[in-house]
Amino acid sequence: MPKLTINGQTVDYSGDPGMPLLWYLRDEQGLKGAKFGCGAGLCGACTVHVNGEARRSCVTPMAALEGASVTTIEGLSDGETLHPVQEAWLAEDVAQCGYCQTGQIMAVAALLETNANPSDGDIDESLTNICRCGTYYRLRKAVHRAAELKSGRAS
Ligand code: FES
Ligand code: FES
């Protein structure tokens, strides 16, 4: 049975190996940030990080997580210091209903780890999370702002 960490806490999982990570996070860990949208890996509402990469937790079985490091939106900030993507999201006022937003933020945070300054084309190509409210314009602006904030913190 897999042993993994969730937001830095070690977890020994002994339940159904086929349980989707999203169910485990929400129902057994009380981490409700990741959302259920399609349940089929399509919409991205359930996006978390697994070993630093964006992963759709609704289609990630617990059995696949031996030794994995999982980060959810609840673990993204550094204590009281928001992650640059969270800060940019607030500054650009991206959210409307908010349902897709945690997944969007996690996807963007992972993107900036591999592409520190994504172009509009990179953003459109890399971010496949769906937003029913159509926040894409502000979302793109927030990605550019987050990239600037992140590079400012690094320098
Ligand atoms: S709920 Fe996981 S991708 Fe839609
Ligand atoms: S903000 Fe409503 S679905 Fe994206």
pLDDT digits (tens, 9 = 90+) for 40-64: 999 999 999 999 999 999 999 999 9
86-98: per-residue pLDDT in tens? 999 999 999 999 9
Three-state secondary structure call for residue 11: strand
Q: What confidence score (pLDDT) does residue 155 get?
A: 66
Q: Are residues 71 and 91 in the same domain?
A: no
Q: For residue 131, which atom of ligand 2 is closest to its CA?
A: 4
Q: What confidence score (pLDDT) does residue 31 get?
A: 98
Q: Are residues 69 and 98 in the same domain?
A: no
Q: Are residues 55 and 15 in the same domain?
A: yes
Q: For residue 97, which atom of ligand 2 is closest to its CA?
A: 2
Q: What confidence score (pLDDT) does residue 135 get?
A: 97
Q: Are residues 11 and 70 in the same domain?
A: yes
Domain boundary among 75, 108, 139: 75
Ligand 2 pocket, CB under 6 A: 95-101, 131-133, 135
Q: Which of 7, 19, 20 is nearest to 70 (CA)?
A: 7
Nearest C-alpha to atom 3 of ligand 1 is from which residue? 41
Ligand 1 pocket, CB under 6 A: 36-39, 41-46, 56, 58
Which ligand is closest in space to the CA of residue 57?
1
Q: What confidence score (pLDDT) does residue 153 get?
A: 76
Q: Are residues 122 and 147 in the same domain?
A: yes
CB atoms within 10 A of CB 142: 26
pLDDT in tens, the chain (155 residues): 789 999 999 999 999 999 999 999 999 999 999 999 999 999 999 999 999 999 999 999 999 999 999 999 999 999 999 999 999 999 999 999 999 999 999 999 999 999 999 999 999 999 999 999 999 999 999 999 999 999 987 76
Who contacts 155 (Cβ-Cβ below 8 Å, separation ≥6)? none
The overall pTM is greater than 0.85: yes
Q: For residue 39, which atom of ligand 1 is closest to its CA?
A: 1
Please state the domain count of the chain. Answer: 2
Q: Is the dihedral of CA 57, 80, 85, 109 positive or negative?
A: negative
Q: Are residues 108 and 56 in the same domain?
A: no
Q: What confidence score (pLDDT) does residue 152 get?
A: 87
Q: Are residues 48 and 88 in the same domain?
A: no
24 C-alpha to ligand 1 centroid (Å): 14
Task: Provide the domain limits for residue 60.
Answer: 3-75
Do the beta carbons of residue 93 and residue 138 sit within 8 Å? yes
Three-state secondary structure call for residue 20: strand
DSSP 34-95: S--SSSSSSS-TTEEEETTEEEEGGG-BGGGGTT-EEE-GGGTSBTTBPPHHHHHHHHHT--
Domain boundary among 75, 102, 126: 75
130 C-alpha to ligand 2 centroid (Å): 8
Which ligand is closest in space to the CA of residue 37?
1
Q: Are residues 14 and 46 in the same domain?
A: yes
65 C-alpha to ligand 1 centroid (Å): 18
Q: What confidence score (pLDDT) does residue 1 get?
A: 74
